[in-house]
Amino acid sequence: MQLTEQIMGKPRLYDNHGREINYLRLAVTDRCNLRCFYCMPEEGIEYVDKDDLMTYEEMIRLSVVLAGMGIDKVRITGGEPFVRKDMISFLEALSRIQGLQRINITTNGTLTAGMVPRLKQIGIHSVNLSLDSLDKERFFRITRRDVFDQVMQTLEELLDERMEVKVNAVVMDGKNTEDLLPLAELARHKKLGVRFIEEMPFNGSGAAPTGLPWDHRRILAFLQEHYPGLEKIPDPPFSTSQNYRIPGFEGTIGIIAAYSRTFCGSCNRLRITPQGTLKTCLYDGGVFNVRDLLRNGASDLQLRDAFAAALSHRAKDGFEAEERRLGNPVSESMSTIGG
Ligand code: SAM
Ligand code: SF4
């Protein structure tokens, strides 16, 4: 099967299942200033050595190569992207890459208050803000840090600057289900998306929680009970969320079946971890290390071949990818992957 082709002068990249791949999630650090309990244990995780993190130059080089293969959208994530020094200069460099049409960021919003106009000026298209509770105490219990006000200030600035904003909330039994309605209410008068995410076992604790009390069906049923007018709206191409509208609301509601994995059939993503591991699925154990190739002097052609080879045996879905990990079950921290 042909994995790359040119259509109307634009390169296109496909996997072995015929899915177009045009989206890179680039985790720029595994470090974080919060300790969200679904992502990291209280004592934190063992961070990779600084020298093992990809440098900005390396990330720019591989973004250029991937943009030449058909990647036109990049999401910067982490860890917390803004704990990395000179993040703004890196974003500026990224914004100059030809072919990258959208640069998005996922952040906890604790370090970005005051920075939003600059992000807009650089051309950042949208920001996903993690916010699991609108109650300061519960926010503290979830994140283990007292930074609720900073996050709310970032949210206000994003809305003031009219940037595209999605609020991401992981739904956790016994931790924040009281927040489902207040979070949904954010979309009543604000033009933003509120997305409820199933909790996944990427908690860095070495143990996967059993069962998922709040799966996408239960989240939907709960919202329908409180908002009988909730109606399905068309999902954008490659969307991981099922999207809904509540009559009279300015914003939208989304539900992401991240653990049930109902969206793998149209997955258009590649992931690169902070130390350069390429993942063709969130649930896989990593395919090869792109940083090592770069540091061993790989040419652009060799890099392209390595990406194409990785996509030629991509798992069909997250369940197959997880099975292929054999004796290495999912339990690493999401901050080492980027979500
Ligand atoms: N630190 C940034 C943040 O929190 O937005 C970016 C990195 S964080 C790993 C990316 C996304 O992954 C966040 O929206 C976070 O809520 C989500 N996430 C982390 N651990 C998760 C888990 N175990 N289950 C579901 N989502 C998770
Ligand atoms: Fe940090 Fe984001 Fe993980 Fe929370 S979810 S601990 S903010 S990386």
Q: Which domains does the chain have, with CATH numbers?
A: 3-336 (3.20.20.70)
* Residue 3: predicted pLDDT: 73
Q: Which atom of ligand 1 is nearest to the CA of 32?
A: 1
139 DSSP 8-state letter: H
Ligand 2 binding pocket mutation candidate from 80, 131, 195 (most atoms within 8 A of CB): 80
pLDDT at 210: 73
Pocket test for ligand 1, best of 126, 127, 170 (most atoms within 8 A of CB): 170
pLDDT at 145 over 80: yes
* Ligand 2 centroid, distance to 228 Cα (angstroms): 33
pLDDT at 211: 83
* pLDDT of the residue at 269: 97
* Percent residues over pLDDT 90 in the chain: 93
Distance (angstroms) between ligand 1 centre and the Cα of 339 equals 5
Q: Is the pLDDT of residue 1 over 60?
A: no
Is 60 exceeded by the pLDDT of residue 2?
A: no
Residue 330: predicted pLDDT: 87
Whether 154 has a pLDDT exceeding 80, the answer reads yes
Query: Which residue, among 311, 266, 321, 267, has the nearest Cα to 288 in the 3D structure?
Result: 311
Q: 34 CB under 6 A from ligand 2? A: yes
Rg over alpha carbons for the chain, rounded to the nearest Å, is 19
For a substitution probing ligand 2, which of 31, 37, 39, 141 has the most ligand atoms within 8 Å of its CB?
39
Residue 80 near ligand 2, beta carbon < 6 Å: yes
**Buried/exposed code over 94-122 (b: 16+ C-beta within 10 A; e: otherwise):** beebeebeebbbbbbbbbbbeebeebbeb
Q: Which ligand is nearest to the CA of 209?
A: 1
| 162-187 per-position pLDDT tens digit | 999 999 999 999 999 999 999 999 99
Atom of ligand 1 nearest to the CA of 200: 24
pLDDT the model gives residue 8: 74
Look up residue 91 and give its amino acid. Answer: L
54-75: per-residue pLDDT in tens?
999 999 999 999 999 999 999 9
Are the C-beta atoms of 127 and 76 separated by less than 8 Å? Answer: no
User: pLDDT value at position 141?
Assistant: 97
Q: How far apart are alpha carbons 199 and 73 in whole angstroms?
A: 25
Average pLDDT over residues 270-283: 97
Q: What distance in angstroms lies between residue 297's CA and the mean position of ligand 1's atoms?
A: 33
pLDDT value of residue 327: 73
C-alpha 84 to ligand 2 mean position (Å) = 14
Pick 208 or 115 by higher pLDDT.
115
> How close is the Cα of 20 to the center of ligand 2, in Å?
29
Nearest ligand 1 atom, CA 203? 23
Q: Is the predicted pLDDT of residue 286 greater than 90, yes or no?
A: yes
Nearest CA to ligand 1 atom 12: 339
The single-letter code of the amino acid at 63 is: S
Instruction: Determine the distance separating the centroid of ligand 1 and the alpha carbon of 39, expressed in angstroms.
Output: 7
Asked if residue 108 has its Cβ within 6 Å of ligand 2, the reply is yes
Question: Mean per-residue pLDDT for 120-138?
Answer: 98
Q: Taking a C-beta distance cutoff of 8 angstroms, is the pair 237, 202 a contact?
A: no
Residue partners of 7: CB distance under 8 A and separation at least 6: none
Nearest-ligand number for the alpha carbon of 31:
2
Q: Give the strand pairing for 288-289 and 277-279.
A: antiparallel
Q: Mean pLDDT over all residues of the chain?
A: 95
Residue with the two structure tokens 């791949």 = 21
Phi then psi dihedrals of residue 298, to 5 deg = -60, 140
109: left (phi over 0), alpha (psi -120 to 50) or beta: left
% pLDDT > 70, the chain: 99
Angle between helices 136-143 and 148-160 (to 10 degrees): 110
Which one, of 43, 18, 16, 47, lies nearest residue 31 by Cα?
47
Nearest atom in ligand 1 to 202's CA = 23
Provide the pLDDT for residue 209.
66
**pLDDT confidence band for 246 (50 / 70 / 90):** very high
Mean per-residue pLDDT, 297-323: 96
Question: In which residue are the tokens 């982490």 written?
Answer: 78
User: Hey, how many other C-beta atoms are within 10 angstroms of the C-beta on 207?
Assistant: 10
**Ligand 2 geometric centre to CA of 299 (Å):** 34
- What pLDDT does residue 208 have? 67
Q: Which residues line ligand 1 (CB under 6 A)?
A: 32, 38-39, 77-78, 80, 106-108, 130, 168, 170, 197, 199-200, 202-203, 258, 334-335, 338-339
Which tokens hold the place of 212? Answer: 């998922």
